[in-house]
Amino acid sequence: MKADSRLLEIISHETKDTINSMNVVTPTIYASIFSRFATLHNTDISEEESITNNLLNDKIALFTNMQNQTSENTKKLSDYTDKAIFAIKNENEKILTEVLEETQELKEEINKLKEIMYKDELTNVYNRKWLHDNILDESAQGFKNSGTLAIIDLNFFKIVNDTYGHTVGDKVLVFIANLLRRIEKNVVRYGGDEFIIIFSDETTENSTLLKLNAAREDLLTKHLKIKDVSFKVSFSVGVQEFKKGDSLSDIIEKADINMYNDKAEIKKRIPNIK
């Protein structure tokens, strides 16, 4: 099977998860682990250079566009500030009203730029950058506030991809992302088929589990239909409360343990995806 950008993303996240626990990672070690996961996904990476160039070109184009937009917005803000200072000094209410309207338009443009920067392209939920910029402190290590973190990992997702193709797999990811967002808006696509939900400190570990288990039980009673394909979809859950200042990696590690325990139990009830 030829590699595509989404497959490479999945393999990359699996590789990163593996090397996180290693003290030393050389390029050779990384390449070896990456190749092993590519083999497990039955993925041909011989044309990796071509795919990488396309990915880089897309990212560079997006970055350049965002950089140009940011530069333009910075100039607008400077102009509006000068205009406001002039209006205040001269007590000109008309100009002040104009500045207010122009600043509001600029704010909307900046919000749109943030949406692009913080959204996962496929599922339209948040990406890792949003998690680090909005949930963690400036050191990007500890949480800004207390709350509850939930990890959601799809069951048998590789079988879905191998059986029905990656286009169907993508639609499953979008479906699950939308389902999770109905439970809580702060949903992050953390890996290929792995999501993180951040709940406020008002939500306890038990109440979080109740919400996610209810959604899963409802999902288990249904078949997902995509064109002429019909199959069951499920996910496993790991939940962990955190306090202000707690390390993200520590909390994820604890939630992961809970999630894998849950996965062992839930797979007994759903031995396959049919």
For 135, the token pair is 């949930």
Q: For residue 205, what pLDDT band results from cuts at 50, 70 and 90?
A: confident
CA 27/CA 121 separation, integer angstroms: 28
Q: Give per-residue pLDDT as tens, 235-272.
A: 999 999 999 999 998 999 999 999 999 988 887 777 65
Supply the pLDDT for residue 255. Answer: 94
For 198, the token pair is 């951040």
pLDDT at 55 over 60: no
Using CA atoms of 123, 190, 187, 141 in order, give the dihedral in degrees to the nearest 10: -150
Q: For residue 110, what pLDDT band results from cuts at 50, 70 and 90?
A: low
Q: Give per-residue pLDDT as tens, 173-202.
A: 999 999 999 999 999 999 889 999 999 887
pLDDT at 112 over 60: yes
Across the range 95-110, mean pLDDT stands at 74
Supply the pLDDT for residue 160. Answer: 86
Q: Is the dihedral of CA 82, 85, 90, 94 positive or negative?
A: positive
For 203, the token pair is 């939500």
pLDDT at 232 over 60: yes
Q: What is the residue whose two structure tokens read 């990915």?
A: 55
For 82, the token pair is 């000068």
Q: Average the pLDDT over each of 53-67, 143-157, 172-186 and give the range with the smallest value.
A: 53-67
Q: For residue 121, what pLDDT band results from cuts at 50, 70 and 90?
A: confident
Say how many C-beta atoms besides its own lie within 10 A of residue 57's C-beta. 10
Cα 56 to the chain's mean position, in Å?
A: 19
Answer whether 25's CB lies under 8 Å from 65's CB.
no
CA 170/CA 126 separation, integer angstroms: 16
In order of 64, 204, 226, 231, 256, the CA distances from 167 in angstroms are 29, 36, 10, 15, 27
Which position has the higher pLDDT, 92 or 239? 239
Overall pTM > 0.85: no
CATH level 2 (architecture), domain 128-269: 2-Layer Sandwich (3.30)
Supply the pLDDT for residue 58. Answer: 60
Cα 170 to the chain's mean position, in Å?
A: 14
Q: Is 232 left (phi over 0), alpha (psi -120 to 50) or beta?
A: beta
CA 172/CA 229 separation, integer angstroms: 12
Three state DSSP letters for the chain = CECCHHHHHHHHHHHHHHHCCCCCCCHHHHHHHHHHHHHHCCCECCCHHHHHHHHHHHHHHHHHHHHHHHHHHHHHHHHHHHHHHHHHHCCCHHHHHHHHHHHHHHHHHHHHHHHHHHECCCCCCECHHHHHHHHECCCCCEECCCEEEEEEEECCHHHHHHHHCHHHHHHHHHHHHHHHHHHCCCEEECCCCEEEEEEECCCCHHHHHHHHHHHHHHHHCCCEEECCEEECCCEEEEEEEECCCCEHHHHHHHHHHHHHHHHHHHHHHCCCCC
Q: Give per-residue pLDDT as tens, 5-37.
A: 667 777 777 777 677 667 777 878 888 888 887
